[in-house]
Amino acid sequence: MTLPKGFGSGGGTSGSDVSKMIGRRIENYAGIITGVFIGCWLATWAGVAVATVYYPWAYPPPSAHYALTVLTIIESIGYLLCIKVSTEGTNKARTYNGLVAGVIAAIAVATIVTDSAFFG
C-alpha cells in the first residue's frame, strides 16, 4: 500500500501510520454508536406514536405494538453487531459488555412499558 508523503518508513506500512492517517480508532466510538442507537430508537418510538395518534384508522394499536417491538429487536441486533465489530481484536470488548447489556435492557424495558401503557 502506498502511503502519502510523510507516512511510513522505507516504503512499509505500519499500524500506527494508518492510525495517524485515519484519526481516532473505531473502538473509541462506542459512545457515539450508543448515542446513535438511542436516537434511532427514539425516532422509531416517535414515528409509531405519531402514526398511532394522527392516523389511527391506518395504524391501529396492534400494528403499533408489532412495529415497535420488531423494529426495537432489529435495531438492538444492529447495535450489538456494531459494537462487536468495532471492538473486535481489542481489549475493550469486555469493557463494553456492561454498556451494551445495560443499554439494550433499558430499551427493552422502555419498549415493554410503552407497549403496555400507551398503545394498549
Q: What is the C-alpha separation between 98 and 83, in angstroms, rounded?
A: 12
Selected residue with higher pLDDT from 10 and 117: 117
Q: What average pLDDT score do residues 50-78 get?
A: 90
CA 106 from chain centre, in angstroms, equals 13
CB atoms within 10 A of CB 112: 13
pLDDT tens-digit readout, 12-60? 555 565 566 565 677 778 889 999 999 999 999 999 989 888 988 888 8
